[in-house]
Amino acid sequence: MTVLDQYRTLTLPLPYRVLGQRLLPLTIGHMLILDRLDIRDVRSPENLILAVTACSQPSEDYERFFTSWRAVLARMWTRKARRILADPVRFEERAWLFREYIEENTERPEYTSSSDTGSDSIIPFAQSLRVTMISKLGYRPQDVNGTLYKQAVWDYFTYCEQEGGITISDVGDRFSEEIERMEALHRERMAKGAK
């Protein structure tokens, strides 16, 4: 997939439904919740239920959700979901779908760094992204958590490229060119072998 193809997926995020719940397009707020709960990579039915609950509603409603009357409905849904997830095969199918949702919505463009700082921050990327959006890109703090994660990532990487810190690479084109070159080489060898 080319960089332009990746960017185009911002306008039409794929719909996902896991455990009967429609997942909203992933936002920075969702990623911060998943980071806080340490459940980005679901490995148990309980984590999957928490992750689906977090991503099936606006992130700003998450705290209120667990202290409201909807929490009673969630507990009923959770019991039903636990029965479904008791089967390891069914759990893995749903966990795979949730992982695909995360992967689709967190895809980053390929890039090369202009400097070799070698810094491996322990701060979750979603938090660094949030701070950069507020301090450098002019987002209002109250709007950041509702921003589509993929849009925020593209804004961040575009800003970094404009500042000269990185160069966004079009890996899709490089791979396409390499595949075409290898196919041509294969056709050439086949033609020599047929003589």
> pLDDT tens, 29-83?
999 999 988 887 888 888 898 899 899 999 988 877 766 655 656 666 677 777 7
* Mean per-residue pLDDT, 137-149: 94
Q: What per-residue confidence (pLDDT) applies to 31?
A: 95
User: Can you tell me the distance from the alpha carbon of 72 to that of 95, in angstroms, rounded to the nearest whole number?
Assistant: 24
Q: How confident is residue 190, by pLDDT bands cut at 50, 70 and 90?
A: low
Tally of domains in the chain: 1
Backbone φ and ψ of 16, nearest 5°: -130, 140
Backbone φ and ψ of 18, nearest 5°: -130, 130
Q: What per-residue confidence (pLDDT) applies to 83?
A: 78
Comparing CA positions, the residue from 123, 128, 117, 113 lying closest to residue 168 is 113
Q: Which domain holds residue 13?
A: 1-195
pTM (whole model) above 0.85 = no
